[in-house]
Amino acid sequence: MREIVFDTETTGLDPRSGDRLVEIGCIEMVNRVPTGAVYHCYFNPERDMPAEAEAVHGLSIAFLSDKPKFAERAGELLDFIADSPLVAHNAGFDFGFINNELEMCGLAPVSRDRMVDTVAIARRKHPGAKLSLDALCTRYGIDRSHRTKHGALLDAELLAQLYVELMGGRQIGLELAADVAGQSAGIVVTQETVLASSRLIRPPRSPRPHAASEEELARHAQFMAGFSEPIWSR
């Protein structure tokens, strides 16, 4: 199954009040294993950048001023996500910004039926616990030491690892499902087929004898004869 794990960075919290999308990072996963295919883009928001937002992601208007407008890259983004389920942390927030940008371009919004919210998943698994990306990465031992500021692609990479853990963790050998050649040939490698293949290629082992030899029986009888009045002969 193909899924897209993604994250966004914005100028603020409310697209309906004029806040805009400034960065998106998407990671393709097949059978919950990253394939190596990503989509990442910065956007010129055509407005100012509030200091509070810049403090979170470090993206200034000076940096974004020569980046493409969302409308110029909307087709690329839609081609990449295709019709796959879209996984995000607090997904309603990210969907709100993406759909606002699409509507501004005169394009149809992405259906929320495709939305997979890892916050909702984590809330069911860990009621009452902290549900931020940082807190959940700490809970599951996911290294985020290189994360000094929020970044859409970096956060999507962390979220991809977290998503796998929230859904039960990666089984031994499952990483073989990311084999690009196998995917190109239309082969879906599952844990069951990996284990089955391992059984098929295991070299046969010669049967081991279990009965005692004549020599061993004779030595055992000689040893037993050395006991004086054993209790088993009474």
Active-site position among 40, 89, 126, 150 = 150
pLDDT 10s digits, 65-82? 999 999 999 999 999 999
| Edge-to-edge order in the sheet of strand 33-42 | 33-42, 21-30, 2-10, 86-88, 115-117
Q: How many whole angstroms separate alpha carbon 154 and alpha carbon 147?
A: 8
Give the residue, 180 or 129, on which the prediction is more confident: 129
210 assigned binding-site residue: no
Do 156 and 188 reside in the same domain of the chain? no
**Count of domains forming the chain:** 2
Domain boundary (169, 192, 213) is at 169
Domain boundary (169, 186, 210) is at 169
In a domain, 80, yes or no: yes
Instruction: Give Cα separations from 218 to 174, 215, 232 (angstroms).
Output: 53, 5, 19
Strands 115-117 and 2-10: unpaired
Do 96 and 187 reside in the same domain of the chain? no
In a domain, 220, yes or no: no
Domain of 143 in residue numbering reads as 2-169
155 assigned binding-site residue: yes
46 assigned binding-site residue: no
Inform me whether the pLDDT recorded for 52 exceeds 70.
yes
Inform me whether the pLDDT recorded for 14 exceeds 90.
yes
Q: State residue 169's pLDDT score.
A: 82
Are 114 and 159 a contacting pair, CB within 8 Å? no
Output the pTM of the full model. 0.71
DSSP classification of residue 203: P
In a domain, 92, yes or no: yes
Q: How many whole angstroms separate alpha carbon 86 and alpha carbon 110?
A: 10
Give the residue, 39 or 225, on which the prediction is more confident: 39
Are 118 and 135 a contacting pair, CB within 8 Å? no
pLDDT 10s digits, 134-159? 999 999 999 988 776 788 999 999 99
Catalytic residue status for 150: yes
Do 179 and 86 reside in the same domain of the chain? no
Measured CA angle at 175 (ends 139, 2), to 5 deg: 90
pLDDT 10s digits, 105-129? 999 999 999 999 999 999 999 999 9
220 assigned binding-site residue: no
